[in-house]
Amino acid sequence: MNTREQQLYLFDKNTILAQYPVSTAKNGLGEDEGSEKTPRGWHCIEKKIGGDEPMNTVFKGRVPTGEIYSDALAAEHPTRDWILTRILWLSGLEEGKNKGGNVDSFTRYIYIHGSPDSGSFETPLSHGCVRMRNADMLALFEAVDEKTPVFIGDEPAPNVMEYIE
């Protein structure tokens, strides 16, 4: 994922299979707990959540609320940080950088998740997670497995093999 471009790239070896606009953190890049920044470096998809739910399902605490996102629901809850459709919960792979202690991406609840399609993409506006359009989130969710490596940064990804066990 290139945070400078606000684009997520899905690769198969050196071939780009898909490219999606995203929104990373409004506060920029960083790893500290409570910073509301998007953590950098190598991660993996630790958990896939919501695979049987309809598009625009609203999640709170990784659990479907029973709500389906709509403009009316958004008007009722104008300050809610919407987590919709699917969740890819990330776990850091780099000890001391995004894994362990107060920099742990998993315990910071860093996700790639669906977001209202009316929101801005290609502009950093999230609270640390990576927001995607719902149709894009569905496509990505189906294309990846748990343990799929994910690189987040504003520079090209280094060799993933250093971080895969």
pLDDT given for residue 18 in this prediction: 93
| Position 159 confidence tier, pLDDT thresholds 50, 70, 90 | low
Decide: 157 and 151 in contact? Cβ < 8 Å. Answer: yes
With a pLDDT cut of 70, the percent of the chain lying above it is: 94
User: In this structure, which topology does domain 7-156 adopt according to CATH?
Assistant: L,D-transpeptidase catalytic domain-like (2.40.440)
Between the alpha carbon of residue 114 and those of residues 48, 49, 54, 103, 136, the distances in Å are: 13, 11, 12, 24, 8
Q: Cα separation of 37 and 47, whole Å?
A: 21
Alpha-carbon distance of 64 to 62, in angstroms, equals: 7
Does the pLDDT value for residue 28 go beyond 90? yes
Mean pLDDT, all residues of the chain: 93
pTM of the model: 0.93
Domain definitions of the chain by residue range: 7-156
